[in-house]
Structure 1
Amino acid sequence: MPPSTVLDAAATAAALPYPALADAIASLLHDDGVTVPPRLVQPLPGGGSLFVMPANDAAVAITKLITFVPDNPAHGRPAIQGDIVVFDVRTGTRRALLDGPTVTARRTAAVTLLAARHLARHREGPLLIVGAGVQGRAHLEALATGLGVRAVRIASRTAASADALVAHARALGLHAQRVDDANAALAACPLVVSCTSAQAVALHARPRADAFVAAVGAFTPRMVEWAPDVCQHLAATGTLVVDTRDADHEAGDLLQAGLDVAALPTLADVVRNTPAWQRARRPDGPVFFKSCGWAGWDLAAARCVLAGLAG
């Protein structure tokens, strides 16, 4: 492999097939040599944020450097922009430069895929996706290719966005339809992904008792997708899981519901089947998986890309 490989968005996506990326994330969660310091979130004038997210294992070090500007899509610009730089730990040599938004979309959806592999009772769907942006498309593809979902319902603030994702789903061979009331659609869907802009509560109704819900839109304490009373109901009747301990101070949905996030099991607990997971799991009731993001997922993506380049 050349000393440094620069991958554009298309090449980055091709190097990160969802099932392989989910496997890489699971492998990372078993690796005690992974180090992920707290990410730096620098507020920017105008409401945007700059994220600096380093991570390393025994062989690879990465830094993710991205901006998040929530109102960019309304102006025809991506909400997330930036890059991920991958280094060799021993030599300090740059090994690769990856497209940051592509990695963010795909690793977030792959984390949901991994969680659903372990926690979802009804893998076939129907799947309800609330939010038809980049994350909605990534989750559609990830759960179709990695979980076997064949039916999907799409809800969005704009009918045009929902219709575009429905068309994409049908092109993938899925049975897909637009729904105009996401809350009403919850009753028919045992798989749910919420990936809205999380600037206000979008979901007020309760998921089914057998549902697996992945809430990915809110990744700061102020952001929210699910109503506090729904989160409290889920805590009382089901099982709550967070992606990492960073969610303790980032999981806006749960924090605004007044829940003790630090007491919840993480995805690593689930994958490792730890005592913390055994104590927390309930055989019945809905499962609510709160995903906030973590540089470890980007490290897993870098490991996946490097393995593919080397192979």
Structure 2
Amino acid sequence: MRSIGADEIDAALTPDRMIDALATAFRAGATAPTRHHHAIETAPDGASLLLMPAWTADYVGVKILTLFPGNPARGLDTIQGGVLLCDGRDGRPLALLDGARLTLWRTAAASALAARHLARGDAAQMVMVGSGALAPALIRAHAAVRPIRDVAIWNRRREGAERLAASLAAEGIPARPVTDLAAAVGEADLVSCATLSTAPLVRGAWLRPGTHLDLVGAFTPAMREADDAALLRGPVYVDTPDALGKGGDVAVAIQSGALAPAAIAGDLAALCRGEAPGRRSPDEITVFKSVGAAIEDLAAAAAVWESLAQRS
């Protein structure tokens, strides 16, 4: 069994390759049982274990993640883990891949895949809300599907936005830190949020006609990145139906009665299969909410494996 680290994953993938791999996976489908989430009662800091299995005729995979909230004080990332990829024909373990890096790639690719169907074709002005590990991956992925010419980065702590803007500028990506989120959103064609906020950051009243809103953080019902008004400005799409109960923005709006489950316009599978309309007009505001799915992990792991196999 091969061990595939973060650097090898980066070398094996491009945004286009990862986005196309997800599109193929969502069109074809996969078996993905309910994810398992367990508290680790022996840990001192409220740690938990997450298991996300999925399989097709070609591959079987499971992502194994641990979340230890006290890790930053130890100089470690909160999330640790890996994705085990097995042969779907005989069950042989093929590879263990770095889970954190693979998650960055597939999460960003899922948002870009949605934007391929939902953002205006000429979307050039992007706002990135948050400056964590996901932010640069989201910016690169969106730039692969839309002609992004300017990225405004907002973060609660300005220095985080400044660091990310400088890093992206060194790559040739035009990015700048901003402090006025409302003004930045009001000028944006595409707004992507990847935070752990527990209160809405983006207001529906700020969105101009034609904007696409991408909500990536808020992965529990206790979190929010956008208010109810934002979700009511246009059709809401999700990565999978799990987002209706687990994604803070959509789940809270449904629980409060502000948003009806029947109002969800579709998911990535429906978009990729042509069963959902996607963007219907240049002025339409669209919303996408993701919480992550095992089918994405499986597709990402398989894409890395096949890319490396082609090179050997």
**What TM-score do the two structures reach when normalised by structure 2?**
0.89
Amino acid at match of 1:77: L
Change (3 A) 1:99 1:93: same
The answer on whether the counterparts of 1:244 and 1:267 sit within 8 Å (CA) in structure 2 is yes
Q: CA deviation at 1:198?
A: 2.9
Paired residues for 1:80-229 under 5 Å: 80-204=79-203, 205-229=205-229
Structure 1 residue 302 and structure 2 residue 307: aligned? no
User: Unmatched 5+ residue regions in structure 2?
Assistant: none
Identity score, percent = 38
Structure 2: how far apart are the matches of 1:211 and 1:122? 11
Within the alignment, does 1:12 sit opposite 2:13 as a pair?
A: no
Contact kept? 1:87, 1:94, Cα under 8 Å: yes
Which residue is 1:68 aligned to? 67
**Residue of structure 1 equivalent to 2:274:** 273
User: 2:242 — aligned with what?
Assistant: 246
Equivalenced residue count is 300
* Separation (CA, whole Å) in 2 of partners of 1:114 and 1:179: 26
Distance 1:187 1:42 in 2: 41
Structure-2 separation of matches of 1:29 and 1:148? 24
1:243-287, CA deviations, whole angstroms, 9 ceiling, x for partnerless residues? 01111211210121232235521111111111xx24x86534210
Q: Which moved more, 1:119-128 or 1:183-192?
A: 119-128
Residues 1:42 and 2:38 are matched in the alignment: yes
Which residue identity lines up with residue 37 of structure 2 in the other structure? Answer: V
Equivalent residue letter for 1:267: L
For 1:229, the aligned partner's letter is: A
Distance 1:48 1:218 in 2: 18
Per-residue Cα deviation, 1:4-61 (whole angstroms, up to 9, x for no partner): 22111111222221110100001011214x1011111223463443210000100101
Q: Structure 1 residues 39 and 182 mapped into 2: Cα distance closer, same or farther (>3 Å)?
A: same
Q: Is the 8 A contact 2:60 2:85 kept in 1?
A: yes
Q: CA deviation at 1:94?
A: 0.9
Shift of residue 73, structure 1, vs aligned partner: 5.3
Cα distance, 1:146–1:77 mapped onto 2, change above 3 Å: farther
TM-score by length of 1: 0.89
Cα deviation code 1:67-110 (max 9, x no counterpart): 23567558753232210010112222110111001011110001
Partner SS, residue 86 of structure 1:
strand
CA contact (8 A) 1:240 1:287 kept: yes
Q: CA, structure 1 residues 199+75, in 2 after alignment: closer, same or farther (shift >3 Å)?
A: farther
Give the drift of 1:141. Answer: 1.9
Q: Which amino acid in structure 2 is aligned with residue 8 of structure 1?
A: G
CA distance in 1, matches of 2:260, 2:280: 17
- Determine the C-alpha separation between the residues in 1 that align with 2:83 and 2:163: 29
AA in 2 matched with 1:269: A
- Segment of structure 1 superposing worse, 196-205 or 99-108: 196-205
Give the RMSD, CA atoms, in angstroms. Answer: 2.1
Gaps of at least 5 residues in structure 1 are none
Instruction: Tell me which of 22, 26, 50 is aligned to 1:25.
Output: 22
The verdict on how the C-alpha distance between 1:6 and 1:212 changes in structure 2, with shifts beyond 3 A counting, is same
Alpha carbons 2:83, 2:97 under 8 Å: kept: yes
What is the DSSP-based 3-state SS (H/G/I as helix, E as strand, rest coil) of the residue aligned with 1:257? helix
